Structure 1
């Protein structure tokens, strides 16, 4: 499915944000058993699922980066291990040299065995130098071993943190998606009843997103896959397909492509639940096969306003939005929506 190009939010805030989203009630919704309550719940969960998906992807990318850091640390640790092995070998050579040369003899024995003062002084100097070399070698070895232990602990902590974060994000995302699927099924069930009766249940005023577009025209849905195109033949249409279909899940918010006034809200028939909006210069847009409507006839809507939620009512074989552009409110005046949107700065593909 087509995805938004917006960048994901900062990852460190994601767990708190998701926890709040998962628990937060919709204060403007009606009771949970009402149609308004179900519709508002789907809209809220839709937003939360989008946030969860973006956060999950950001967390997954961060986990990949963490694992890369761990791999780099492992390579450094490999070099550290080699250095420790070299230092241990040096200590072994020094110890063997001391054993062969008598560097470990006590001072009393050296006094007794020395042939004279000069030989004794030379022996003391050799002993002092050897002792200093041993001390330095031991110190280097201990410091290298400490760095090795610290590096191993850091690499392991990075791996564990990455795996833990990914697991928590996956769990939160799946929980929200499960709730959303259950709510979508209930929303569509209620919509089917209304469409069969030919009577809409009234507008459900959805909480609108805070962002406001400055563009005059937008696509009718934010994320989608194009399915049946304009003019396409098939057994489901009397002649040719009169609009462009956008494949989206049930409950996806449907936007007014431009500012205008709602001239029709109806249920039943081939289009199921549908909305028609009149725009400037006598252009009309239609949004069909909906699961819920959020406007009433006569409402003025700005560009990008959530006017409905997608569904699969009417003559529909699966969840999608059927979108038309017309020169009159009626179906016999349709034009191809894709090039029309392109002329107004909206590319859909």
Structure 2
């Protein structure tokens, strides 16, 4: 399996959800009954869970960043204190040296006696002033160090409290996120179950119109999904296909929004058969794109679509071994006329 370039998900991932359809079924020929389903039941639940999961993830990651910043501030304070301690140690050593020198020179005598006995009283006074200045400087340095110690103690206590609070909050957010994702996974499979029922009946439900995100594509063509891994490629062999694989598979979770790769018109929406729930779009120049193994559709036959518009949601309906989007490019609406979709998209400026 070839791994594709990862693209960041749109904030609107929540929309992946709306996919359970609540419109009347069509005749049992695998065709689609035009009309609008209502976004209710598990569909609305999936949408809500996607939104909550995105929000929880954002808050969780913000908490981790805040914790990292707090640790960086504490480490900087610790480095500053170490510098103060080293400076103080140097001054202590210097004072000790001066004191030892005084002792060897009779420092135990009063200053007056030193002056009377000294060969050069002025030199003695200069030395005494040096000692006094050194002692004063040392006292000031010790004071600074003690104040720095006190500040650091306060800062460390605040940082420790902040870390505990951040860790607790992040733990709660992680648990909430995990709970939402578990519910979302359950809702996805409920959604897939409804798609499988439609395929078994050979009749699609009406389209559920997805709330489109605010996107302004600067290109005329886009990839059919936003975040993906490429799996089975065009022309590959295997027991799953009668001859060769006729499209490019995108491994994505159930409910992932599927996008129209370019401007076109929906010419087919159907359920049943090897492709399960599928959509075919006609584009200018005589080419058609197919989106298969879907869990739900968001367009009706005859709809006009634009680049990046959400037209359905991925699934694993039909002859599928796991959640993915099967994407084809054809020169007719029907199978048997496929061309390599990767090179076709590359010619349109889309690199997978």
TM-score range, shorter chain: 0.7 to 0.9
Aligned residues of 2:282 and 2:289 also touching (Cα < 8 A): yes
* 1:261 paired residue number: 265
Whether the 8 Å CA contact 1:36–1:204 is kept in 2: the answer is no
| Superimposed CA distance per residue, residues 155-182 of structure 1 (whole angstroms, 9 cap, x where no aligned partner) | 6756775782782664554344334223
Q: Distance in 2 between matches of 1:171 and 1:84?
A: 48
Is contact 1:49-1:177 (8 Å) kept? yes
Tell me what 2:31 maps to.
none
How far is the alpha carbon of 1:38 from its aligned partner?
2.7
Higher normalized helix content (fraction of residues): 1
**What 5-or-longer segments of structure 1 have no aligned partner?**
10-20
Q: Do the aligned partners of residues 332 and 96 (structure 1) sit closer, same or farther apart at CA in structure 2, a change above 3 Å counting?
A: same
Contact 2:7 2:227 in 1 (8 A): no
Name 2:170's counterpart in structure 1: 167
Match of 1:342 among 328, 332, 346: 346
- Superposition pairs of residues 6-17 of structure 1, within 5 angstroms: none
Residues 254 and 7 of structure 1, relative CA distance in 2, 3 Å threshold: closer
Q: Residues 324 and 126 (structure 1 numbering): CA distance in 2 closer, same or farther, change over 3 Å?
A: closer
CA deviation digits over 1:235-271, x for unaligned, max 9? Answer: 1111111111000011100000011111111111111
Question: Equivalent residue for 1:325?
Answer: 329
- Report which structure shows greater RCO (CA 8 Å, sep ≥6): 2
Is the CA contact 1:225–1:247 (under 8 Å) kept in the aligned structure 2? Answer: yes
Q: Does 1:275 align with 2:279?
A: yes
* Range 330-339 or range 179-188, more displaced: 179-188
For the residues of structure 1 that align with 2:88 and 2:251, how far apart are their CA atoms? 61
Cα 1:193–1:213 shift into 2, 3 Å: same
Q: Compute the displacement of 1:185 (Å).
A: 2.1
Q: Which residue of 2 aligns with 1:209?
A: 213
- Name the CA distance, whole Å, in 1 between partners of 2:21 and 2:249: 31
- Which residue pairs with 1:144 in the alignment? 145
Equivalent residue number for residue 222 of structure 2:
218
Does residue 292 in structure 1 map to residue 296 in structure 2? yes
Going from structure 1 to structure 2, the CA distance change for 1:111 and 1:341 (only over 3 Å counts) comes to closer
Counterpart check, 1:309 vs 2:313: yes
TM-score normalised according to structure 1 size: 0.75
SS at match of 2:224: coil
Which runs of 5 or more residues in structure 2 are unaligned? 23-37
CA positional deviation for 1:224: 0.4
Backbone CA RMSD of aligned residues: 4.2
Work out the CA distance in 1 between the residues paired with 2:326 and 2:7.
Answer: 23
Aligned ranges 1:56-71 → 2 under 5 Å = 60=64, 64=68, 67-68=71-72, 70-71=74-75
Aligned length: 328
Q: Deviations over 1:78-111 (max 9, x none)?
A: 2222223334455666777888989899xxx988
Q: In structure 2, which of residues 176, 196, 200 is the aligned counterpart of residue 196 of structure 1?
A: 200
Do the aligned partners of 2:296 and 2:314 also contact (CA within 8 Å) in 1? yes
